[in-house]
């Protein structure tokens, strides 16, 4: 009994050490100990706490309403392979531009006129910040983020 318990403790302890040393090597360029793969995608952008992300995981399709001039919900978490539909319910044209060029296929202004919608499928886990180049920048105004959770 005692042997089992101490063995269990040893495993736990070594896991902890492993996790700490891993985090240490990952965060070479960033002092944040909670560094995650998403941090690279959002480098230089304002911090958005996890609590602001609306959980839309386990849904095959999620709609982001595009208004004048916000995306709603602005921050979502989805599962890999989710189709995210951007639906322009505003009176003005908008677009959806990935902050990291090529991170996903952008939606051009021509494809997101009022009452139009366009979709992006997010397959790979990670953080995908985006913005509307007509009404925002990566850091301010009309922008949002899609976070793709690990499967």
Rule CB under 5 A: choose which of 42, 78, 94, 127 binds Cu ion.
Answer: 94
The strand pairing partners of 146, in sequence order, are 76, 128
Nearer to Cu ion, 13 or 140 (CB): 140
| 99 interacts with Cu ion by CB under 5 A | no
Contact 84, 76 (CB under 8 A): yes
| H helices present in 27-145, as ranges | 38-41
Q: Is 142 a binder of Cu ion (CB under 5 A)?
A: yes
**Residue 23, C-beta contacts closer than 8 angstroms, at least 6 positions apart:** 33, 35
> Is 135 among the residues that bind Cu ion (CB under 5 A)?
yes
# chain residues binding Cu ion, by CB under 5 A: 6
Cβ atoms of residues 81 and 121 within 8 Å: yes
Q: Which two tokens stand for residue 107?
A: 């939606």
CB of 62 to Cu ion, least distance (A): 19
151 DSSP assignment: -
Q: Is 85 in the site for Cu ion (CB under 5 A)?
A: no
Please report whether residue 107 would count as binding Cu ion according to CB under 5 A. Answer: no
Q: Write each residue from 9 to 48 as x if it is in contact with Cu ion (CB under 5 A), else as -, in one continuous string.
A: ----------------------------------------
């Amino acid at each position: 009994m005692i042997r089992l318990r101490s063995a269990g403790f040893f495993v736990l302890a070594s896991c902890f050490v492993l996790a700490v040393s891993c985090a240490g090597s990952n965060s070479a360029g960033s002092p944040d100990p909670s560094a995650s793969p998403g941090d690279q995608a959002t480098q230089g952008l304002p911090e958005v706490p996890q609590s602001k992300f609306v959980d839309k995981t386990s849904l095959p399709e999620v709609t982001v309403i595009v208004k004048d001039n916000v995306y709603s919900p602005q921050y979502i978490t989805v599962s890999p392979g989710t189709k995210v539909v951007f639906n322009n319910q505003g009176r003005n044209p908008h677009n959806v531009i990935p902050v990291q060029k090529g991170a996903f296929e952008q939606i051009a202004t021509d494809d997101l006129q009022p009452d139009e919608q366009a979709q992006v499928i997010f397959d790979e886990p990670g953080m995908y910040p985006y913005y509307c180049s007509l009404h925002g920048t990566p850091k301010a105004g009309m922008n949002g983020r899609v976070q793709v959770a690990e499967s």
